[in-house]
Structure formats: C-alpha cells, structure tokens
Amino acid sequence: MSYQVKASISGRKYIQNLVLPIDLEKIHEKFLALLEASEKRKMEVVQMNVHVHEHNTQIESVNQELASSYKDLETLKQELEFQEEKYLDLVNNMPDIIWICDANGFLIYGNKPFETLIGKK
C-alpha cells in the first residue's frame, strides 16, 4: 500500500509520496494482544483488590475482638482493685495480728495491729 504523507517542518509543507510497508493485520494483531494483556492485568488487579478487601475485613474483625477483650480486661481490673480494697480494709480493721512473708521469709505485709505490736508503720 502506498500513502501520501503530508509533513510540515519548520512551517514549510512537504508533500511526498511514500510507499510505507504498513501491514494493518499486524497492527491489528498487536493491538488485540495489548488489549488482551491489558484486560488480563485488569483482572489481576481486581483479584488483588478482592484479596485486600478480604484481609481488611479479617483485620477489622480481629480489631473488634481485641477492643472487646480490652474492655473485658479493664472491667476485670476494676473489679480486682475493688476486691483488693475490700480485702485490705477488712484485714486492716481486724483486731487479729496478720502478717505475710515472701518465700524467702521477708515481711511483705503487716496489718495495723501488727504495726502496733512491733511499733513501726
């Protein structure tokens, strides 16, 4: 096939008849190959987005479980602190002498009557 090519270089027009070996079939084949590769890549991206969405959903679920567990731990901590206060109040106001030693025999706690007995606080 021959095509007439019109070109302009620095504002001057040149008209020249060129015989260009243009194979429209090959161009069409290359275009279809590029289109197919583009569609394939598009499907890969869609699949990756699906995987990302699935992982995000799992992460959100785990975060919600962690938040719930944290709230439960905070509640248990508050209950434990309340029970400790009640226990210490009870032990400190008992007339009996109470003391606690660690495994090595070191004194780690003594109630008020114990402090009065030994004369130290």
In angstroms, the CA 91 to CA 119 distance is: 18
Q: How far is CA 111 from CA 9, 29, 98, 104, in A?
A: 104, 93, 6, 20
pLDDT the model gives residue 1: 47
- Regarding pTM above 0.75, the answer is no
Per residue in 7-45, pLDDT (tens digit) is: 555 555 555 555 555 677 788 888 889 999 999 999 999
Per residue in 45-81, pLDDT (tens digit) is: 999 999 999 999 999 999 999 999 999 999 999 999 9
